[in-house]
Structure 1
Amino acid sequence: MKTLRVRIIAGLVAIAFLVALAFALFTVINTKRLFADYLNEYRITRQVQWARVLAEHYLQRGSWQGVNQILPGSRENGSMGMMRGRRVTSGEMIVLAGPNGDILAATDRFDSQSLNGDELQQASAIQIDEKIIGYVYLKVEYEIPGLATMESQFLRSVYYSSIGGGILVAIIAALIGISFSNRLIHPLKQLTDSAKKITKGEWEVKVNLDRDDEVGELAQAFNVMTEKLRETEMARKTLVADVAHELRNPLATLRAQLESIQEGVTKPETQVILSLNDEVIRLSKLVNDLQDLSLAEVGKLSLNKENARLDLLLQKVVGLFEGSIQDKEIELSITVPELPQISMDSQRMTQVIINLLGNAIRHTPFGQKISISGGEKAREIYVEIFNEGESISIKDLPYIFNRFYRADKGRAREQGGSGLGLAITKSLIEAHGGTIGVLNDYKGVKFFFILPK
């Protein structure tokens, strides 16, 4: 298996070799071009020199007679003074052509009787009094002494330097790759080791990396994920414990009453059967509430939405609690205008209002007030339910919508609450795309929720 370290080092070494190869190719191509340019400049310079010599010869003779005597080499006379040091070099072919391009003389055998268009264009004109009397063309081959050797030696040195440089750069790249891979892989190994510990249930694991790059962000995200997983695991364990606790009492009651009937201590009278039925109903409601809550939290709770008015639902639910309100002599006020229809599940929203209003009635002291208000804003509808009484403790506020959470567990259980009402309410509101919250007031507590139009 190729590790990340091997891949990084191999990649850097490969890049180093490719760069060295590209440099060598560029150098070779550029060197050949430079040598070609040098030969062209050399040819032009030599042609100009020979054009002057040949023009002087023509002035002295009045014709090209005897021109072959000066082409092979230099002569030490006055008229040929300009030829001093102008010997024909090996690898050069000097061609003298007339004004029309016909070959008049050459230092070597020329393949044709006249210069072609390209050769004539490259040739240097021989002029006297601005009149062209001929052309001199210099054909340069690589056989110029020392030129081929110099080029081959230079190219050979380029090859060797490129190979040596490539090896050196590859070694440097490998060292850099080792250092870089260590810096990159070490934190990844920490993350891997921590992930393995998490799979074993070690939730307190944290990755401490003092880095401000992407790896540091990954470590921070990993720590956040670990904390969320830990909270989820704790919530799961708490849920199991809470469910077991909630089921224990009704099941114990059922068992005790059934055993009493079996032993003949208690007769199966109507009152006893009704008591058993109440416990069964309570268990069924608890199971149904848990199922609804689980479906809502994973976004799979089915909603039968239809257009309905929330103010009408409020009035309907208030009517259901008239008996409880009268028993506690609660002063109830409703200030909700006629609201526009919105898309909602009327049955689920009725459940929301029942939970909130029932919670308010339970926690409102005898003879105190409950006020229900609502209205609409730009794209929202809101409802507020306020009850007088004790405020919720500051430490309890953040958890008030958690499942099975009770600020006063003993009182809530005695009154029949399962601790799921507010959690289900929150999930149903969020399933409708809304938000819900709770605020302490100096006189009591206010629950509110907001729904989109």
Structure 2
Amino acid sequence: MARPSFRWAISPLGLKLFVIILSVNVAISAAVFLAVSHSIDRGFLDYLNQAQQRRAETLAEGLVEQWSQHGDWEWLARSPERWPLLVRQALAVERRRRPSPLGEAHDFVLRAPDGAFVIPPQEEDPDAAADWHWLPLSYHNAVIGELGYRPPQQMMERMERGFLARQQRNLMIILASLGVASLLLAGGLSWWLGRRTRALALATRRLTEGDYNTRLKGGGRDELARLAQDFNVLAATLKANREARARWVSDTAHELRTPLAVLRGEIEAMQDGIRPLDQENLGSLAQEVSQLERLVTDLRLLSQSDAGALETQLAPLDLSHSLKTRLLDAHGWLADSGLTLSTEIAPKVMIRGDSQRLRQLWNNLLDNSCAYTSPPGILKVSLHRKADQAVVTWQDSAPGVPERELDRLTERLYRVEGSRSRASGGSGLGLSIASALVKAHGGTMVASTSALGGLCWTLTFPLLTDKIQ
């Protein structure tokens, strides 16, 4: 059994899968990176805003307490060096609760109710105050000043951007690892799938070139494994059909050669004067021509059946009447063959059938029984209904057929004894034609061993119902 040999090559399908999988993973990784970066950026900024506002509120409480002790801000304006110490003392509790590098003295300013700075900003830009956030300071419902604090956006370059840079660097490392893993996964998957599809493509090409010995390796339970199994079944079927066709041609040539050889011999004998040209010899020639005509007709019918072009005129038909009439007409034929007929036919069994094709079917079965049943013999035919089918049982007496040969009886030109001589009866096409005729009526024809010692045929036909009338 030949198996396709493979060389390493880039599979177009594998390359496409590789590009698609890698592109999808890169797109997902980029989307995750942007989403996480945005989330970290916005989330961290919101956290800073809340933390800075909380520190400003804590410092405001301390400043109000200091103002209540001094009654004004003059003491702080005269000694601005006390401002860092005051900020550190006011924020000491908050820092112990939530340590943070934020909250330095230069991040806060203080101005009096009239707008004059008590603790001015350290920037030289006079418009820098416009960028500060202001928190009013109240004592007994009276505004005693405003505490300004630097918004977190302005501190990003000094502190937060370093933190975000570290987080984004770590995220980039994670995404790079994910990209490498995706690359390996995409490459491995595309190689595995591309290798299997390439093997299937090469095997299919060999099959189209007529190499029906090509087989694919099985194994696995995925769709590709089942496809490989189906491919092997297809290859085996094509091989069997080719061998059957070769046998069919050989057998047909043999069957045609025999009557042609007899015709040629008899004609040459008449031409040489060995046999006289009289009615007896002409009758022998006519018999051989009839045998040839019958064989050609049978071959044509089987070829039509194979092509699905067998002409049948299906119409409502009484199967009981068709079978009973043909058996009555065959009494003389059966008697000459030494067979006793026994029938059990149910009345009015209706099917859709072709009366001419059914008569041909009964003739082939009668011919088979008369040719192969040893006299004195018995032929028993019955017809009955079973569920939605009409069942015909056709059985004869000895000799029988070995069970191993039963399934081959409807093969064309097949004879149990292996002889090609027509002396045993017919060309070997009768039962093949009978099976094709039953199939044309939507039925089945199955062989089994008869209780009478011979062969039993069971034929089934769909009963005629109101829906198909």
Common fold by TM > 0.5: yes
Deviations 1:148-186 (A, max 9, x none): 244434454566556665555444444444444444344
- CA distance 1:347–1:437, shift in 2 (3 Å): same
The worse-fitting range, judged by mean Cα deviation, of 29-38 and 249-258 is 249-258
Paired residue for 1:427?
Answer: 436
Counterpart contact for 1:405–1:419, Cα < 8 Å = yes
Deviation (angstroms), 1:12 = 3.6
Write out aligned runs for 1:393-432 (5 A): 393-410=402-419, 413-432=422-441
Paired residue for 1:315?
Answer: 324
Deviations 1:314-359 (A, max 9, x none): 1121133222112133221110111332212222222222212221
Matched, 1:276 2:285: yes
Paired residue for 2:106?
Answer: 89
The worse-fitting range, judged by mean Cα deviation, of 396-405 and 289-298 is 289-298
CA–CA distance in structure 2, aligned partners of residues 112 and 189 of structure 1:
73
Out of 184, 208, 228, the residue aligned to residue 219 of structure 1 is: 228
- CA distance 1:259–1:154, shift in 2 (3 Å): farther
CA–CA distance in structure 2, aligned partners of residues 246 and 71 of structure 1:
131
Paired residue for 1:100?
Answer: none
3-state SS of paired residue (2:448): strand
Deviation (angstroms), 1:60 = 4.5
Deviations 1:78-98 (A, max 9, x none): 9997488976534x677889x
Paired residue for 1:377?
Answer: 386
Paired residue for 2:154?
Answer: 143
CA–CA distance in structure 2, aligned partners of residues 312 and 96 of structure 1:
124
Deviation (angstroms), 1:228 = 0.8
Deviations 1:396-421 (A, max 9, x none): 11211111111135486115512111
Deviation (angstroms), 1:376 = 0.6
CA–CA distance in structure 2, aligned partners of residues 79 and 282 of structure 1:
125
CA–CA distance in structure 2, aligned partners of residues 339 and 257 of structure 1:
51
CA–CA distance in structure 2, aligned partners of residues 50 and 78 of structure 1:
9
Write out aligned runs for 1:62-77 (5 A): 69=77, 74-75=82-83
- CA distance 1:213–1:425, shift in 2 (3 Å): same
User: What letter is aligned with 1:301?
Assistant: L
Counterpart contact for 2:11–2:194, Cα < 8 Å = no
CA–CA distance in structure 2, aligned partners of residues 252 and 319 of structure 1:
38
Deviation (angstroms), 1:368 = 1.8
Matched, 1:291 2:308: no
- CA distance 1:96–1:17, shift in 2 (3 Å): farther
The worse-fitting range, judged by mean Cα deviation, of 208-217 and 386-395 is 208-217
3-state SS of paired residue (1:405): coil
Percent identical across equivalent pairs? 25
User: What letter is aligned with 2:153?
Assistant: Y
CA–CA distance in structure 2, aligned partners of residues 287 and 26 of structure 1:
81
3-state SS of paired residue (1:447): strand
TM-score scaled by structure 2?
Answer: 0.79
User: What letter is aligned with 2:290?
Assistant: I
Paired residue for 1:248?
Answer: 257
Write out aligned runs for 1:155-166 (5 A): 155-157=164-166
* Structure 2 stretches lacking a partner, 5+ long: 1-9, 96-102, 464-469
Paired residue for 2:62?
Answer: 53
Write out aligned runs for 1:12-411 (5 A): 12-56=21-65, 59-60=68-69, 69=77, 74-75=82-83, 82=90, 88-90=105-107, 138=149, 140-144=151-155, 147-157=156-166, 168-410=177-419
Paired residue for 2:457?
Answer: 447
- CA distance 1:151–1:295, shift in 2 (3 Å): farther
Aligned length: 436
Counterpart contact for 1:17–1:166, Cα < 8 Å = no
3-state SS of paired residue (2:288): helix
Deviation (angstroms), 1:375 = 0.6
CA–CA distance in structure 1, aligned partners of residues 225 and 79 of structure 2:
81
Counterpart contact for 1:57–1:67, Cα < 8 Å = no
Deviation (angstroms), 1:260 = 3.5
